[in-house]
Amino acid sequence: MKRKVAVIGVGMVKVDHHWSESLRSLFTKAALNALEDAGIPKVEALYVGNMSAGQFNNQENIAPLLADSLGFNSIPSIRVEEGCSSGAAALYMGLKDVASGMHDIVMVGGVEKMMDTTTNDATFIISTVTDQEYEAFTGLSLAGINAMVMRLYMKRFGVKRESFAKFVVQMHDNASKNPYAQFPFKISLEKALNSVPVADPIHLMDCAPIGDGAAALILCPADKAKEFVSDCVEIAGAWKANDTFLFHMRKDFLTLKATVEASRNAYEMAKITPEDIDVAEVHDSFSIAGFLAIEDLGFARKGEAWKAVEEGLISLEGEIPINPSGGLKARGHPIGATGIYQAAEIVLQLRGEAGKRQVPDAQVGITHNTSGFGTSAIVHVFKAK
Sequence-distant (6+) residues with CB within 8 A of 342 are: 87, 88, 281, 325, 367, 368, 369
Alpha carbons 326 and 44: distance in angstroms, whole number: 33
4 dihedral zone (left: phi>0; alpha: psi -120 to 50; beta): beta
- Name the phi and psi angles at 310, rounded to 5: -70, -30
CA gap 72, 69 in Å, rounded: 8
Is residue 232 annotated as part of the catalytic site, yes or no? no
- CA atoms in the 13 A half-sphere facing the CB of 198: 23
Q: Per the residue annotation, which of 172, 203, 283, 333 is the catalytic one?
A: 333
Q: Work out the number of other CB atoms within 10 angstroms of the CB of residue 86.
A: 30
368 among known catalytic residues: no
Distance CA 270, CA 76 (A): 29
Q: How far apart are CA 295 and CA 220, in angstroms?
A: 33
Asked if 329 contacts 169 with a C-beta cutoff of 8 angstroms, the reply is: no
- Cα separation, 355 vs 227, in Å, equals 26
Q: Which of 84, 207, 220, 232 is catalytic?
A: 84
Q: Say how far apart CA 291 and CA 160 lie, in whole Å.
A: 13
SS3 of 80, please?
Answer: strand
**What per-residue string of b and e applies to 139-163 under the rule 16 or more CB within 10 Å gives b?**
ebbbbbbbbbbbeebbeeeebebeb
CA 354 to chain centre: 17
Q: Which residues are catalytic?
A: 84, 333
